[in-house]
A and B are shown apart, each in its own frame.
Chain A
Amino acid sequence: MDISTIASGVTTDGVRYLQLFLTEYTSIFSETVNPSCNKCLSNYLSKYKRHVMSKNQNTSGYVLHAKYENIPLEFGSPILVNNSNITEEYAQTLLSQDEGERYFYSIPDGAEAKPKAPAKTKESAKPKATQAKAPKETKPAAEKESEPLIKAEDLNVNDAAVIE
């Protein structure tokens, strides 16, 4: 929920989200708040989110890349996996997918992906060119890929570093 929704929304009982949010906020942080200051409200929300995230920090040791948070557990699954709800079981399911390791920022030492299940869904359909076997080591996804985005041939120069 963003700050504009909180500032303007009401519950089905007619109670303003803002009132509920500030009550919750002040009960946690015990500080004076200014409901008429939009920038302050944004800061309160950010602080509150950080607080909630830290409370929900997962203990599984698996951490997803930020951009893959809320990824479906598998094709058609209603379960969206993120760094708050990830478990060993969820992590193994993701790891068993094609190139599943690239979703992870970190994997606990000693954790291993189980053998990959045979692909049966359309989701696994990919151009042949991308069907490279996932390497074992856990690195940011990009490090496992084949070529940098900008190549010399794209730029018609002999030295790609020139554009950097």
Chain B
Amino acid sequence: MAVDCTSGLTEDILFDCYNAPVGGIEQDVVLINKNDVDVVATTTDANNRTLITNLQLKPGKTGYKLTGVKQSNGKAWELVKKENAPDKFKHTFSGVIFNPGAENKLQADNLSRGGSYLVVVEQKWKGAGNIDAFEVLGAISGMELSTMTNNSKENDNMIMFELSSVDGFEEPTMPKTLLEVSYAATKTAFDNNFVQAAI
């Protein structure tokens, strides 16, 4: 039987007075090479396609921390209207590399080599029971380096960059929420850069 994917609303959209909106993300984020994600073992919830229940990397792979200060790192997304197809979402992550030393520049240069990346961020707003704290940008299509700038007269000589969905290859959903059982477990995985032991 043919399945109609153009589903409409299925539940109320409510305002939880005890969890009013809060802007910003926590200062550290995790960058992951998209090629390192085990797409078979990584799972979404059966009833909610915007919820990742396990983000698993391939054996021996790890994510990499980008440490920030205050709101130096940020995320955004926007709808991309499609004329005759389901709408898509453009994800954008803006990051700052504070120290323009050789080691950091090597990693910045690696970002520019055409790879595709996921970014896991922890929002300041975490929802009831902290279950909505983490979001994954670029979970399906990945994001690529779209800008990288450095100016000795601006921004204290820091390296500013953006990763974003490539035009025409945007994400099918907004950034997915990541919840691996509980906030504590998800936070532990995040702090460990989602490292997966080599077999």
Contacts and interface: CB of A to CB of B under 8 A. Distances in A.
B181 A102 contact: yes
A54 interface: no
A94 B85 CA distance: 45
Which 3 residue pairs are nearest across A and B when measured between Cβ atoms?
Answer: A125-B129, A142-B41, A145-B43
Interface stretch (B20-28, B72-80, B152-160, B184-192): B184-192
Given A125-B128, A140-B56, A146-B53, A68 B185 contact: yes
Interface stretch (A9-17, A21-29, A152-160): A152-160
Interface residues of B, number: 45
A98 B53 CA distance: 13
Contacts of B38: 142
B128 A67 contact: no
Contacts, number: 129
Interface of B: 5, 37-49, 51-54, 56, 85-86, 128-131, 139-140, 172-173, 179-185, 188-189, 191-197
A86 B189 CA distance: 17
Interface in A51-83: 65-72, 75
25 contacts: A66-B195, A67-B188, A67-B192, A67-B196, A68-B185, A69-B192, A70-B188, A70-B191, A123-B183, A123-B184, A124-B182, A126-B181, A141-B41, A142-B40, A143-B41, A148-B40, A148-B44, A149-B37, A151-B44, A153-B5, A154-B140, A156-B85, A156-B86, A156-B172, A164-B39
B193 to A, nearest CB: 8
Contacts of A141: 41, 54, 56, 180
B140 A155 contact: yes
Contacts of B42: 142, 148-149
A71 B46 contact: no
B39 A66 contact: no
Dominant secondary structure at the B interface? loop
A101 B38 CA distance: 20
B39 A98 contact: no
A45 to B, nearest CB: 15
B45 A127 contact: yes
Given A105-B197, A154-B172, A146 B192 contact: no
A150 B51 contact: no
